[in-house]
């Protein structure tokens, strides 16, 4: 497992909410972060059918462009009892001609579950795959998963994406209701980043 020998890390995202999560979770490790948007890097299309494939596309592109270690996340929701999974296409479910509409996407998930008369509790999990890539082409991969239930109606406005309909196991609040400092300890992205920190950082 390769260690990070730099205190500067480029985050391969244009998503400011995701960037805030990265920064909060990595803050205790004295890592200076910048994101692709800060460097005017247009990220390549995510053309792979897997989380790891898409994370690799973004991380390697940014590492090559900046000649610095880069980290990327590809994440999404898997919903039990749905034949057509959001999965690696989770963000695509929210696409509209006017930008992403996650209320529309969450409504679609619930309506599909209702059409199937899916039993309660309606199980789902959030998945996160982290790829850290170096300019020489080496990379390391870390996965994080959190199991939970889909609830309706939507609850909370703190998180982003599908957070308002997902309650992680062992909790009473959705990710959309949960204080950020709590979510950043238990989320799928927190778990994958914790594995990265344990294996690639010296502290």
Q: Answer for the pair 62, 72: CB distance below 8 angstroms, yes or no.
A: yes
Active-site residue set: 74
Q: Answer for the pair 173, 180: CB distance below 8 angstroms, yes or no.
A: no
Please tell me the predicted confidence (pLDDT) of residue 202.
76
Domain contains 15: yes
Domain contains 1: no
Domain contains 3: no
DSSP state of 71: E
Query: How far is 101 from 133, CA to CA, in rounded Å?
Result: 31
- CATH number, residue 138: 3.90.950.10
Total domains in the chain come to 1
Please tell me the predicted confidence (pLDDT) of residue 26.
86
Spans of the chain below 50 pLDDT: none
pTM value surpassing 0.75: yes
Q: How would you write 64-128 as a 3-class SS string? A: HHHCCCEEEEEEEEEECCCCCCCHHHCHHHHEECCEECHHHHHHHHHHHHHHCCCCCCEEEEEEE
């Amino acid at each position: 497992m390769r260690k990070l020998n730099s205190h500067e890390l480029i985050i391969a995202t244009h998503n400011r909410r995701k960037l805030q999560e990265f920064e909060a979770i990595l803050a205790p490790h004295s890592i200076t972060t910048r994101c692709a948007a800060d460097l005017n890097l247009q990220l390549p299309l995510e053309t792979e059918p897997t989380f790891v494939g898409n994370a690799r596309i973004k991380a390697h592109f940014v590492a090559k462009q900046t000649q610095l270690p880069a980290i990327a996340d590809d994440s999404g929701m898997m919903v039990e009892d749905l034949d057509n999974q959001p999965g690696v296409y989770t963000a695509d479910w929210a696409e509209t001609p006017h930008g992403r509409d996650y209320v529309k996407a969450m409504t679609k998930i619930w309506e599909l579950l209702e059409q199937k008369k899916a039993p309660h509790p309606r199980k789902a999990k959030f998945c996160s795959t982290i790829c850290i890539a170096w300019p020489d082409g080496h990379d390391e991969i870390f996965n994080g998963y959190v199991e939970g239930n889909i609830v309706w109606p939507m609850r909370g406005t703190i998180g982003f994406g599908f957070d308002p309909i997902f309650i992680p196991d062992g909790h009473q609040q959705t990710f959309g209701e949960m204080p950020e400092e709590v979510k950043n300890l238990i989320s799928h992205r927190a778990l994958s980043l914790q594995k990265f920190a344990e294996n690639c950082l010296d502290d």
